[in-house]
Amino acid sequence: MSSIISGDQTWLMWMMVAVLAAFSIWAEQKTKWGAKMGGAILAIFITMFLVNINFLPSKSPVYSAVGGYILPLSIPLLLFQCDLKKIIKGSGKLFLVFHVAAIGTMIGAMAAGFIFSDAPDIGGIVAMEVGAHVGGTVNLVASGKAFGLDQTYISAVAVAANLLVAILMLALGAMSDSKWVRKNFNHPHIQEFESSIDADAGSLAEQYWKPKDVSLLTMALALATTFAICGLGDLIAAFVRSLNPPMIIGQLFGSIYLVICTLTIILVTILPKFFQKLQGAEEIGTFMIIMYFVTIGGAANLSELVKVGGIIISSIIFITIGNLGTLFICGKIFKWDWEELCNASCATIGGPTTAAAFSINKGWNAMIVPGILVGLWGYSIGNYIAIIAGNFFVK
């Protein structure tokens, strides 16, 4: 059955992608139900609903354009804060706790990979799962593209990964108020917050995305820089592919997604003062990637998702057990604060904005910046760990 808006109605499709992305961001910041779900999940599932009632098409050149151009442009913009020297220096003990969480993610993902070793494309699925839950969605997409996976797989893992983020935040939030946590873990930030609650602060997303000092010049420089990085990255990736290198080298340096990540991190670390001035980059990049989430919802064919859903859901369960289990055991042994464990888990499973949003929501102000920093570190290393992990299962 044809949809009300057809895939070749270009301007109407661009309108819907932009409007749905904007609505998802608005709902996340201005409504209680939207704040609980998050903009990414809203974008995916609202679009899936519109596709399944035949209002929007499941295929469109606009979806391809967003994935081919808008998504790559968003990646450098989201990495403009990845100054490795600042991250390592400013994150303190959380830097160590983060790596324990990342190891837990790896243990869970590798266990799932060995159990489902005969499944088609298991190497790419493991890579996406590791990328998603060491860094975030940026790493998920880059890893999937590096393994040449079908959009169905990428969409399925993205849907599951974002659902996990929402469930994790709700679960950790509930656990933070439990007697078990208060009895078994140090919780200094909880105590500090409970002594000074501000009920009028607004939603966690609204607080994180508060207005900044943005000018036309900084936005122009941010966009020009991301275009330059993408252009140079495409040249490098094409050159590497022309050399017919070994597969893992081709995945790491023959994919524009991984090349632009590497280029951006190098440039930001070498020229931190320049990138610090590019106010508005994160906001633009986030809007772009929410647009991509809209296209993920559009391309998420439910019947196809069901076929690969068992493996993906099982992998998510293994990763959650590995991540939280490793953290809780080490946290109990080494007497780490509960707030550090929550931040490390959120930073690995969901990325820097998830870690920041969780800390803002709980009122743990001292944890916000360290959570962002280690989350950005996850962005930086997630792709490379994911590619290595995925290649264990390539036949």
- Domains within the chain, CATH numbers bracketed: 29-189+214-391 (1.20.1530)
Question: Residue 91: is its pLDDT beyond 60?
Answer: yes
Alpha carbon of 387 to those of 15, 95, 106, 221, 330: distances in Å?
35, 22, 12, 32, 27
Q: How far is CA 302 from the centre of its chain?
A: 22
Highest mean pLDDT pick, 71-85, 223-237, 345-359? 223-237
Residue 14, burial from CB neighbour count under 10 angstroms (0-12, 13-18, 19+): middle
Q: Lowest mean pLDDT: which of 49-58, 190-199, 262-271, 385-394? A: 190-199
Distance CA 134, CA 380 (A): 10
Most confident of 81-85, 202-206, 321-325: 321-325
306: exposed, middle or buried (Cβ count in 10 Å: 0-12, 13-18, 19+):
exposed
- Mean pLDDT, residues 18-23: 96
What is the structure's pLDDT at 363?
66
> Which residues, at least 6 apart from 294, have a Cβ–Cβ distance to it below 8 Å?
16, 17, 20, 21, 24, 43, 44, 47, 66
Reply yes or no on whether the pLDDT at 159 is more than 60: yes
Q: How confident is the model at residue 182 (pLDDT cuts 50, 70, 90)?
A: confident
- Phi first, then psi: give them for residue 120, nearest 5 degrees: -60, 140
Quick one: average pLDDT of 178-193? 66
What is the per-residue pLDDT for 199? 47
**Interatomic CA distance for residues 353 and 372, integer angstroms:** 7
pLDDT at 196: 47
Helices (H), 80-215: 84-90, 94-115, 122-134, 137-146, 151-176, 179-184, 188-194, 204-208
Count of alpha carbons within 13 Å of 237, Cβ hemisphere only?
20
Statement: residue 313 has pLDDT above 90: no
331: pLDDT strictly greater than 80: yes
Judge contact between 386 and 255, C-beta under 8 A: no
Instruction: Specify the residue for token string 């679009």.
Output: 47
Between 40-54, 238-252, 304-318, the lowest mean confidence (pLDDT) is in: 304-318
- Which conformational region is residue 150 in: left (phi greater than 0), alpha (psi within -120 to 50 degrees), or beta? beta
Please check the confidence at residue 237 and state whether its pLDDT lies above 70.
Answer: yes
Q: What pLDDT does 173 receive? A: 77
21, 75 contact by CB (below 8 A): no
How many Å from the N-terminal Cα to the C-terminal Cα in the chain?
A: 39
Left, alpha or beta for 196 (phi > 0: left; psi -120 to 50: alpha)? beta
Q: How far apart, in whole angstroms, are the C-alpha atoms of residue 101 and residue 130?
A: 12
CA distance 55 to 37: 23
- DSSP-derived 3-state class of residue 186: strand
Residue 304's pLDDT is 60
CB 285 within 8 A of CB 77: yes
Give pLDDT, residue 21: 95
Residue 308: pLDDT band with limits 50, 70, 90: low
Q: What is the largest CA-CA distance in the chain?
A: 62
Question: Does 194 have pLDDT greater than 50?
Answer: no
Residue 122 has pLDDT above 60, yes or no: yes
Predicted local distance difference test score (pLDDT) of residue 265: 85
The dihedrals phi and psi of 187, each to the nearest 5 degrees, come to -145, 60
Specify the pLDDT at position 345: 92
DSSP 256: H
Q: Which element (helix H / strand E) includes 336? A: none
Render pLDDT for 92-117 as a digit per residue (tens, 0 to 9): 788 999 999 999 999 999 999 999 88
Q: pLDDT confidence of 205, banded at 50, 70, 90?
A: low
The structure tokens listed for 260 are 């632009």
